[in-house]
Chain A
Amino acid sequence: MRIFLEQMINGLTIGSFYALIALGYSMVYGVMKLINFAHGDLFALGSYLGFTLLVWGNAYVTTNFGLAGGMIAAMLIAAIGIGMAGILVERIAYRPIYPAGRLPAVVSALGVSIFLENMIMVIWGPRYQAYPVNVVPTVRFEIGGIHITLLQIIILILSFILLAFLYYIIQKTTFGAAIRASALDRDTAALMGININTVIFFIFALGPALGGTAGVMVGMYYRQISFTMGWNYGLKAFTATILGGIGNIPGAMVGGLLLGIFEMLGSAYISTAYKDVFVFLILILVLIFRPRGLLGEKIAEKV
Chain B
Amino acid sequence: MSALLKINNLHIFYGSIEALKGISLEVNEGEIVTVLGANGAGKSTLLRAISGLLPIKKGKIEFEEKELNNVPAFEIVMRGISHVPEGRKVFATLTVEENLNLGAFTDRKNAKLVSERKERVYNLFPILEKRKNQLSGTLSGGEQQMLAIGRGLMSNPRMLLLDEPSLGLAPLLVKQIFKIIYEINSQGIAILLVEQNARKALGIAHRGYILETGNISISGLSPELKNNKKVQEAYLGGAALKKIK
Which residues on A are within 8 Å of B, measured CB to CB? 174-175, 177-178, 180-181, 184-185, 187-196, 297, 299-303
A178 touches B135 (CB 8 A): no
Question: Which chain B residues lie closer than 8 Å to A192 at the CB level?
Answer: 74, 77, 102-103, 105, 151, 155
Interface assignment of B70: CB less than 8 Å from any CB of chain A: no
B98 touches A187 (CB 8 A): no
Bound Cα distance A300, B52 (Å): 28
- Number of chain B residues whose Cβ lies closer than 8 Å to a Cβ of chain A: 38
The minimal Cβ–Cβ distance linking A159 to chain B, given in whole angstroms, is: 26
Pick out which of these stretches binds chain A: B33-41, B81-89, B206-214: B81-89
Bound Cα distance A39, B137 (Å): 32
A177 touches B139 (CB 8 A): no
Q: Pick the contact of B93 from A184, A188, A302 — CB < 8 Å?
A: A184
A181 touches B137 (CB 8 A): no
Residues 76-111 (chain B) with a chain A CB within 8 angstroms: 77-78, 82-83, 85, 87-94, 98, 101-103, 105-106, 108
Q: Which residue of B lies closest to A188 (CB)?
A: B89
Q: A191-B83, A193-B77, A194-B102 are in contact. Are A174 and B108 (CB under 8 A)?
A: yes
Interface assignment of B9: CB less than 8 Å from any CB of chain A: no
Question: Which chain A residues lie closer than 8 Å to B89 at the CB level?
Answer: 185, 188
Question: Which chain A residues lie closer than 8 Å to B108 at the CB level?
Answer: 174-175
Interface assignment of B22: CB less than 8 Å from any CB of chain A: no
Bound Cα distance A67, B231 (Å): 82
**Top 6 A-B pairs, shortest CB-CB distance:** A299-B137, A190-B73, A193-B106, A193-B77, A174-B108, A188-B89
How many A-B pairs have beta carbons closer than 8 Å: the answer is 87
Given contacts A174-B101, A174-B108, A303-B167, 7 further A-B contacts (CB under 8 A): A190-B52, A191-B51, A191-B77, A193-B77, A299-B135, A299-B138, A303-B168
A190 touches B105 (CB 8 A): no
A180 touches B91 (CB 8 A): yes
Bound Cα distance A184, B136 (Å): 13
Q: Mark B58-85, 1 if CB is under 8 A from A, else 0.
A: 0000000000000011110110001101
Bound Cα distance A174, B98 (Å): 7
Bound Cα distance A189, B90 (Å): 10
The minimal Cβ–Cβ distance linking B155 to chain A, given in whole angstroms, is: 7
Question: Which chain B residues lie closer than 8 Å to A195 at the CB level?
Answer: 72, 74
Question: Which chain A residues lie closer than 8 Å to B135 at the CB level?
Answer: 299
Interface assignment of B144: CB less than 8 Å from any CB of chain A: yes
30 intermolecular pairs with C-beta atoms under 8 Å apart: A174-B98, A174-B101, A174-B102, A174-B105, A174-B108, A177-B98, A178-B102, A181-B91, A181-B94, A184-B91, A184-B92, A185-B91, A188-B85, A188-B89, A188-B91, A190-B53, A192-B77, A192-B151, A193-B155, A194-B74, A196-B74, A299-B92, A299-B93, A299-B135, A299-B137, A300-B92, A301-B90, A301-B137, A302-B137, A302-B144
Question: Which chain A residues lie closer than 8 Å to B30 at the CB level?
Answer: none
